[in-house]
Amino acid sequence: MSFSKQPKTPAEFQELLASTQKLIVVDFYADWCGPCRVIAPFITQLASKYPDVMFIKINTDQAREVASQCGISAMPTFQFYLRGNKIDEMKGANPPQLEQLVKKHSGSTESSSSGSGSGSNTTFAAAPGHSDLTEYITPNQMDALNQQEEHGVRNIFKADESYLESDVDEQLIISIPFNQPVKLHSLKIKVANKNQAPKTIKLYANRQNLGFEDTDTIKETQTLELQPKDFEDDAIINLRFVKFQNITNLVLFIADNQEDEETTQIQQLILIGSPVEATNMKDLKKVGEE
């Protein structure tokens, strides 16, 4: 089931629209609205039935400015967005019509997602049943300590030539929040210069506000010791899957790089896994038994 965190401001709403290639269905509702309450269980069913569609619920009393800018005059109102653009709208609690529109517009995302450099539809042969989790990251809450201002953390979730680079030394602390719980299977790291690629990475599950001084005293969830082969095009870096369940925030402490260069660079970071609701429990049991 794919429900995104509710945006409270127009800026958060626009950032969420721009963060995905998926079809986005926005449900504008109010707690006092009877038809809204009637159709709410059906929307939950749709979210489970169509995992490649992102559903957003916006309480019009709590996000008045968002509702105003979207022209909401009745509730419930459902708006459909694709690649940041509004493509359809439906007013009223009509389950058959709502599902018909979801079917109609979700089919149009297939061709656009197939060529995307990032997005949850991207799959990996070495991680069957899992995909790119970039869609589930909350970009405006990401942070990195010791990053260069002109080469910041958001660059690592773009499919282009931009990159993240450390500043005064080789170390970085990257904090990545998710808009819903996920299960992490593996990582894929792309670099332009393998000499500056990360070497030792400590991962912290559901840990926030971690500083460099904390990395000596707080026990990490897993430590990775990477080699040049881990940055090949077809390589992924496996995690201890059973230790990365129900993750809402991930912190990566990069302690050093491959050739003791002055700074560390990462061109792209892909987190591979599944939303909690979509995880195949047979796969979890198999990994846990190994």
- The active-site residue, picked from 23, 24, 25, 33, is 33
- Active site annotation includes 70: no
* The pLDDT value given to residue 122: 61
pLDDT surpasses 50 at 287: no
Q: What is the mean pLDDT of residues 30-43?
A: 92
* The pLDDT value given to residue 127: 79
DSSP 220: P
Q: Alpha helices of the chain — where are they, by DSSP H?
A: 10-18, 34-49, 64-69, 95-106, 110-114, 281-289
* The pLDDT value given to residue 132: 87
Query: What b/e string do you get for 156-165 counting C-beta neighbours within 10 Å, with b at 16 or more?
Result: bbebeeebbb
In sequence order, what are the residues at sequence separation of 6 or more whose Cβ sits closer than 8 angstroms to the Cβ of residue 9?
A: 63, 65, 66
* The pLDDT value given to residue 276: 83
Phi, psi of 260 (to 5 degrees): 55, 40
* The pLDDT value given to residue 253: 98
Name the least confident of 33-37, 194-198, 258-262, 272-276: 272-276
Reported as a single tens digit per residue, the pLDDT across 273-285 is 988 864 444 444 4
CB-count burial class (<10 Å; 0-12, 13-18, 19+) for 172: buried
Reported as a single tens digit per residue, the pLDDT across 91-102 is 999 888 899 899
Name the least confident of 41-55, 120-134, 202-216, 247-261: 120-134
Average confidence score pLDDT of the chain: 86
Residue whose entry in the numeric block shows the structure tokens 């079917």: 103
Reported as a single tens digit per residue, the pLDDT across 150-169 is 999 999 988 788 999 999 99
* The pLDDT value given to residue 277: 62
Q: Pick from 108, 119, 116: which is nearest to 82 by CA?
A: 108
- The active-site residue, picked from 23, 24, 36, 197, is 36
Say whether 43 sits in a helix, a strand or coil.
helix
- Active site annotation includes 36: yes
Q: Pick from 25, 21, 59: which is nearest to 43 by CA?
A: 25
Q: Pick from 197, 252, 257, 245: which is nearest to 223 by CA?
A: 252
Give the separation between CA 195 and CA 59, rounded to whole angstroms: 49
* The pLDDT value given to residue 234: 85
Task: Quickly state the pLDDT bin for 25 (edges 50, 70, 90).
Answer: very high
pLDDT surpasses 90 at 52: no
Reported as a single tens digit per residue, the pLDDT across 59-118 is 999 999 999 999 998 999 999 998 888 899 999 998 888 998 998 888 744 333 333 334
Q: Say whether pTM exceeds 0.85.
A: no
Give the separation between CA 193 and CA 189, rounded to whole angstroms: 12
